[in-house]
């Protein structure tokens, strides 16, 4: 199915930032995509408009009860100048799973992908080509009924904004390096039956206090433990977590409390392609710490759209620090990073059909 979106060009395009100094998520392009949903009408009036502030009622339900969701994806520039997306249909599917949990309307996968492609195409000259850069794409939906009753809204707005971005962790500027990760033993991120698997702002608002604690001890991000026993490893603040132990690579199972990462799924697929045992199973923080002490923990890394593959060099748990892989980037982490970014930027073959070209 093909979709038509109106385009209002920005009369005041901005100068492009220096790709070598880009950080994550602070500079926005000239345009954005907007589309409305009304009961009985469905999604309608998809349009590309100049990037700018939006007007919203102060009574809008998203501002009070956080009925919203977001997605995260990236557009990449290839060496021969094309722009492409990585598995955008997976973001569309996850969006609909989140929306089902949040009482928000479903969206045709094709419509989602067409909207993202249209706005990325409009601002294609904003896709940077320096190493460790890409155009971060942030689709999101807000409920904007002006009413204070706690109930699902009837009117929603879908938007896509774009930002040329550098590495998520400043440590990865110019080269892949390791992060310091704080294991949170007090607060929890998600419990069974909650919204842990959904990509909603509330999950992140609730994580900020733990991030603050992590930064106080010079850590880059938080590793969450399960809500019941504070024992099993779940995910890192902005990504999924993997542990390489002897000949097995372990990540937490998708049991409702962790985000079903698209990079996570890609990592599992690549590992299995390479004949490496990749297990989705519970693993306790005590086992991870014991393995770090004994040397059995060969590598650990986080995987995510923003984080890509971010190797962990230190785990800090209950005030003690455990070094992983001598704080160096492990061979498997590097290989996964090179393969995933190689596929994304067209440098290496895409055997699974993960790439969709935009221009
Ligand atoms: C992403 O990787 O796209 C995310 O959504 C993480 C984000 C919260 C920075």
Q: What is the mean pLDDT of residues 107-131?
A: 97
Q: Determine if ligand 1 sits within 6 Å of the CB of residue 203.
A: no
| Closest among 165, 70, 52, 155 to 112, alpha carbons compared | 70
Q: Is 196 in the pocket of ligand 1 (CB under 6 A)?
A: no
User: pLDDT (tens digit, 9 = 90+) per residue, 258-304?
Assistant: 999 999 999 999 999 999 999 999 999 999 999 999 999 999 999 99
Question: Which atom of ligand 1 is found nearest the CA of 204?
Answer: 8
The ligand 1 atom nearest the CA atom of 261: 2
Could you report the per-residue pLDDT of 302-312, keeping only the tens digit for each?
999 999 999 99
Whether the predicted pLDDT of 339 surpasses 90: yes
pLDDT at 1 over 90: no
How does residue 158 score in pLDDT terms, banded at 50, 70 and 90?
very high
Higher pLDDT, 58 or 169: 58
- Whether the per-residue pLDDT at 203 is higher than 90: the answer is yes
Per-residue pLDDT of 94-104, as tens digits, reads 999 999 999 99
CA of 136 to the centre of ligand 1 (A): 9
Measured at the alpha carbon of residue 226, what is the angle toward residues 224 and 229, in degrees to the nearest 5?
Answer: 130
Question: Across the strands, what pairs with 2?
Answer: none
Which pLDDT score is estimated for 254?
98
Alpha-carbon distances, residue 249 vs 7, 244, 284 (angstroms): 47, 4, 14
φ, ψ for residue 292 (rounded to 5)?
A: -65, -40
Q: Which two tokens stand for residue 126?
A: 């904003």
Give the pLDDT confidence score for residue 328 in this predicted structure.
97
d(C-alpha 77, C-alpha 85), whole Å: 9
Q: Is 99 in the pocket of ligand 1 (CB under 6 A)?
A: no
CB of 29 closer than 6 angstroms to any ligand 1 atom: no
pLDDT at residue number 349: 97
Could you identify the atom of ligand 1 that is nearest to the CA of residue 138?
A: 3
For residue 199, report the distance from its CA to the centre of ligand 1, in Å: 9
Architecture of domain 6-166: 2-Layer Sandwich (3.30)
> Which tens digit of pLDDT belongs to each residue from 220-240?
999 999 999 999 999 999 899
Beta bridge partners of 232: 284
| Structure token digits, residue 259 | 């985000």
- CA 205-209-213 angle, to 5 degrees, is 145
Q: Which atom of ligand 1 is nearest to the CA of 70?
A: 5
Q: Quick one: pLDDT at residue 238?
A: 84
Task: For residue 183, list its beta bridge partners.
Answer: 223
How high does pLDDT run on average in the chain?
A: 97
DSSP of 36-55:
EEETTTEEEEEEEEE-----
Name the segment(s) of the chain with CATH classification 3.30.470.10. 6-166
Which of 304, 310, 340, 344 maximizes ligand 1 atoms within 8 Å of its Cβ, making it the mutation to test the pocket? Answer: 304
pLDDT at 174 over 90: no
Ligand 1 neighbourhood includes 98 CB (under 6 angstroms)? no
Within 132-198, residue ranges assigned H as helices are none
Q: How many whole angstroms from 11 Cα to the centroid of ligand 1?
A: 31
Kindly give the distance from the C-alpha atom of residue 137 to the centroid of ligand 1, in angstroms, as a whole number.
Answer: 10
For the cut 90, the answer to whether the pLDDT of residue 316 exceeds it is yes
Q: Tens digits of per-residue pLDDT, 132-148? A: 999 999 999 999 999 99
Ligand 1 atom having least distance to the Cα of 305 = 2
Q: Which of 92, 226, 115, 93 is nearest to 161 (CA)?
A: 115
Cβ 237 under 6 angstroms from ligand 1: no
Does residue 173 have a pLDDT over 90?
no
Residues 324 and 180: their CA atoms lie apart, in Å, by 10
The segment(s) of the chain belonging to CATH 3.20.10.10 are 172-344
Lookup: tokens for 262? 């698209």
Is it true that domain 172-344 has CATH number 1.10.3720.10?
no
Rounded (to 5) percent helix, strand, coil in the chain:
25, 30, 45
Whether 304 is in the pocket of ligand 1, judged by its Cβ within 6 Å, is yes
Q: Are 86 and 358 in contact (CB under 8 A)?
A: no
Per the CB < 8 A criterion, the answer to whether 278 and 303 are in contact is no
Cα of 165 from ligand 1 centre, angstroms: 12
| CB-ligand 1 contact for 72 (6 Å cutoff) | yes
- Provide the pLDDT for residue 24: 95
Tens digits of per-residue pLDDT, 240-263?
999 999 999 999 999 999 999 999
Q: How far apart are CA 312 and CA 308, in angstroms?
A: 13
Task: Give the whole-number percent of the chain exceeding pLDDT 70.
Answer: 100
pLDDT band at 172 (very low <50, low <70, confident <90, very high): confident
Rounded Cα gap, residues 194 and 225, in angstroms: 15
Nearest atom in ligand 1 to 73's CA = 3
Residue nearest to atom 6 of ligand 1 (CA): 238
* Interval between CA 40 and ligand 1 midpoint (Å): 32
Is the confidence at residue 112, as pLDDT, over 90?
Answer: yes
d(CA 62, CA 80): 42
pTM equals 0.97
Question: Please, which pLDDT band fits residue 149 given cuts at 50, 70 and 90?
Answer: very high
Per DSSP bridges, beta strands 308-317 and 179-183 are parallel
Close Cβ partners of 22 (under 8 Å, ≥ 6 residues apart):
128, 130, 133, 164, 165, 166
- Confidence category of residue 171, pLDDT binned at 50, 70, 90: confident
């Amino acid at each position: 199915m093909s979709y038509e979106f109106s385009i209002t060009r920005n009369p005041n395009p901005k100068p492009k930032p220096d790709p070598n100094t880009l950080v994550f998520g602070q500079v926005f392009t000239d345009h954005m995509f907007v589309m409305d949903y009304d009961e009985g009408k469905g999604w309608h009036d998809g349009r590309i408009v100049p990037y700018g502030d939006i007007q919203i009622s102060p009574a809008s339900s998203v501002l009070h009860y956080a009925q919203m969701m977001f997605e995260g994806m990236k557009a990449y520039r290839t060496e021969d100048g094309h722009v492409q997306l990585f598995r955008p249909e997976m973001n569309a599917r996850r969006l609909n799973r989140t929306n089902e949990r949040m009482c928000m309307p479903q969206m045709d996968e094709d419509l989602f992908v067409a909207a993202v492609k249209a706005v990325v195409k409009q601002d294609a000259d904003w896709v940077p080509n320096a190493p460790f850069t890409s155009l971060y794409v942030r689709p999101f939906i807000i409920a904007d009924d002006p009413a204070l009753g706690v109930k699902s809204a009837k009117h929603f707005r879908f938007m896509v904004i774009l930002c040329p971005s550098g590495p998520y962790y400043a440590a990865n500027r110019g080269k892949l390096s390791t992060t310091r990760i704080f294991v949170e033993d007090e607060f929890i991120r998600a419990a069974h039956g909650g919204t842990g698997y959904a990509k909603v702002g509330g999950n992140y608002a609730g994580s900020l206090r733990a991030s603050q604690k992590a930064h106080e001890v010079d850590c880059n991000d938080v590793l969450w433990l399960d809500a019941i026993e504070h024992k099993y490893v779940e995910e890192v603040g902005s990504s999924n977590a993997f542990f390489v132990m002897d000949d097995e690579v372990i990540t937490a199972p998708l049991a409702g409390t962790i985000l079903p990462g698209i990079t996570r799924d890609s990592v599992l697929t690549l590992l299995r392609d390479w004949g490496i045992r990749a297990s989705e199973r519970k693993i306790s923080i005590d086992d991870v710490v014991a393995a770090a002490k004994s040397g059995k923990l060969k590598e650990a890394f986080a995987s995510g759209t923003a984080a890509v593959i971010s190797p962990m060099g230190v785990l800090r748990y209950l005030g003690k620090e455990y070094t992983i892989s001598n704080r160096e980037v492990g061979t498997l982490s590097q290989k996964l990073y090179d393969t995933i970014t190689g596929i994304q930027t067209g440098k290496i073959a895409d055997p699974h059909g993960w790439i969709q070209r935009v221009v």
